[in-house]
Amino acid sequence: MESETRVRKHRATHQVVTVLLVFLMGVALGWVLRGGPGPVNDAAAPVAMTEAPGESPDTEEPLDAAGPPLEQLIPELAPVLNEGTAPVDVPIPQPAEEAAPAESPGEETLPPAPPAIPEDVWPARHLFIAVSGNALSNEAKALLSELKPGGVVLLDDNIANRNQTTKLVANIKDAVGLGKEISDLPLVAVDQEGGIFNRLNLESAPGAPELGAKRDPDAAHEVGLSFGKACKDRGIAVLLAPVLDVALPGAPDVIKARSFGKDRDVVQALGLAFADGAMQAGVFPVVKHYPGHGAAKPDPQTTLAVIELGQSQELAKVLYPFAQAVVAGVPGMLVGHIAVPRLDEADPQRPASLSPILVREFLRNRWAFKGVILSDDIALAAAATGGDVGKAAVLALAAGCDALLLADPSQERIRGVCEAIETAVNDGTLSLENLNESKRRLEDMQKWLQAPKGLPGGVPKLAPESPAPVDVAAEPAAAQPVKPAEEPAAEAAPEPVKPAEAPAAEAVPAPEPAPAPDAPKAAEQPPAEAAPEPPKPPAETPAPAAPGADRPTYHEIKPGDTLTQLSARYGVSIKDLKEWNKLDGDKILLGQKLRVSSPR
């Protein structure tokens, strides 16, 4: 029994030892197969990071907490972070990873950056060039194919009759190779004004003076419509008309023969009716010649025109039709080579076409003109650049013009202008961003031609002719205010019964010395006579200072009035209008009487 028990114990011990050895061998084999102690430690690390990220690794915390703060890595962030503002307000494109989650809602409100690609420089896109003769030569075809200009302007020697003109336009389109539709490049333009500028040789082509004498906007609309149809019938997309120059006494004969007259209201009403007619026909009108050839005199030193009007009321009457054209929504405006020392004080003899003050500051920024701005024949502006047409072209584009007319068909000159533009972009003289903005406006011009519409602001009404039309040149003289001075003295109270009397209207650039309640009524008359459109806020300048001239003028708000219009009309700034009338915003009410002048 003892031996049997002893055997059993021995067997049990042997089994335990065997199991233990097998276990140890398994552990040893597993260790060898796993590659040693390193992997064991690494295997534990992921468990720690996954199950307790806050307690384990040194490799997780530094990503958020360690290292220099963001304001040190990106100095531009410092002021924003110091103010406690979210990074969404910081227009910094570098940190894309951090910006994405925080800026996703706000980034949609940021304007997209314009393309800045060297291939985007297309100098001839900003030119309306000329070609010689009424048929294309092989040299002209090669030039058009190479440069692919944005436009071609037709001159007298390009036009013989309707069929020939239609064929020439089609051949120009074929040579360029960008499409055959009227909206395809190049856009073909012509200055069919009527009268002495009857480029298309139409049988019926009344001029602006004839229409101005009739004072009939409907007749002007019909002429614009017929000229537009004649253009579209020939494939011509751009009508360089109407002329909005107010022909002051002493204006050049060539302007008098092309202007609707000396009355600024007639000029703007008939001119805009003409433009609306052309737009209804499907043609793109370009009004001209901003800021006003009818008030300019030639400068004997430079041969360029200069507007030397010293008083703001006079200058306002010249600018008025162009400002009204902007309000009405004309799609295009042509800038002349006319200097305005009163407005461009930095360079008094600089023509408007080369002046960033007159083009970009006033026309584009202050007047908020959204359409296409063309420069008159840029070769004529070279007198201001020592005869260098290329330099004049660069200055005009830098001033804010979107495209330039070049009426000289010389291929050498056309190439020279293109080279000057490209060089100016490469050396930074011309902003590629601004050039691309101009190109987008020119592309919008093509889109408009695909779906043309009339004037969005409509055509203004023209009041019946007064017995004594306002003469801009004679207005500052003291003779006119003397007459009405006798009438109000006799019957000041019943005067509101006679608001239509022209002498009374002309006599009130400043209200007469009457009781205070009459001040607003007296002020209702100046808009008919002195509704100026200066793009600057100079003080009012009626020549004679009446005893009551220290009282302000008021304007009663009528349908369509805006602060922008009143600012231009009375030659004051919008800021002054808001301050004088304690306005919090731009909202004004019908019938509300606003102060529109400061006491002197």
Task: Give the residue from 251, 240, 246, 293 showing the smallest Cα distance to 265.
Answer: 246
For residues 423 and 552, membership in a common domain is answered with: no
Q: Output the pTM of the full model.
A: 0.62
- Position 227 scores a pLDDT of 98
Bridge-based pairing of strands 554-556 and 593-595 is: antiparallel
For residues 62 and 152, membership in a common domain is answered with: no
Helix (H) or strand (E) holding 339: strand 338-339
Domain end residue (candidates: 79, 106, 133): 106
For residues 229 and 365, membership in a common domain is answered with: yes
Q: What is the pLDDT of residues 542-579, one digit of tens each?
A: 333 333 445 678 888 876 677 777 776 777 777 788 88
- CATH number of domain containing 424: 3.20.20.300
What's the sign of the alpha-carbon dihedral 550, 556, 557, 558? negative
Strand partners, 524: none
Burial of 276 (0-12, 13-18, 19+ CB in 10 A): buried
For residue 575, being part of any structural domain is answered with yes
For residues 72 and 128, membership in a common domain is answered with: no
Residue 166, pLDDT above cutoff 60: yes
Residue 393, pLDDT above cutoff 80: yes
For residue 113, being part of any structural domain is answered with no
Which residue range is the domain that position 494 belongs to?
479-595
Domain end residue (candidates: 106, 141, 173): 106
For residue 82, being part of any structural domain is answered with yes
Which residue reads 């737009």 in tokens? 279
- Position 409 scores a pLDDT of 96
For residues 511 and 390, membership in a common domain is answered with: no
For residues 384 and 329, membership in a common domain is answered with: yes
For residues 202 and 91, membership in a common domain is answered with: no
At 461, the pLDDT band (50, 70, 90 cuts) reads confident
Q: What is the pLDDT of residues 36-63, one digit of tens each?
A: 444 333 333 333 333 333 334 443 333 3
At 302, the pLDDT band (50, 70, 90 cuts) reads low
Task: Give the residue from 155, 200, 152 showing the smallest Cα distance to 175.
Answer: 152
Question: Token pair for residue 482?
Answer: 């003397």
- Count of the separate structural domains present in the chain: 3
Domain end residue (candidates: 71, 106, 141): 106
For residues 486 and 369, membership in a common domain is answered with: no
Residue 509, pLDDT above cutoff 50: no
Concatenating the DSSP letter of every residue in 169-221 gives HHHHHHHHTS-SSTTSSSEEEE---BTTB-TT--S----HHHHHHHT-HHHHH
- Position 407 scores a pLDDT of 96
Residue 260, pLDDT above cutoff 80: yes
For residues 551 and 498, membership in a common domain is answered with: yes
Q: What is the pLDDT of residues 14-31, one digit of tens each?
A: 566 566 666 666 666 555
Q: What is the pLDDT of residues 273-286, one digit of tens each?
A: 999 999 999 999 99
For residues 442 and 505, membership in a common domain is answered with: no
Residues 96-114: what's their mean pLDDT? 43
3-state secondary structure 271-328: HHHHHHHHHHCCCEECEEEECCHHHCEECCCCCCEECCCCCHHHHHHHHHHHHHHHHH
For residues 145 and 25, membership in a common domain is answered with: no
For residue 437, being part of any structural domain is answered with yes
Other beta carbons less than 10 A from residue 560's beta carbon: 11
Question: Token pair for residue 258?
Answer: 């092309």
For residue 62, being part of any structural domain is answered with yes
For residue 474, being part of any structural domain is answered with no
For residue 112, being part of any structural domain is answered with no
- Position 460 scores a pLDDT of 82
For residue 446, being part of any structural domain is answered with yes
State the DSSP code for 359: I
For residues 302 and 267, membership in a common domain is answered with: yes
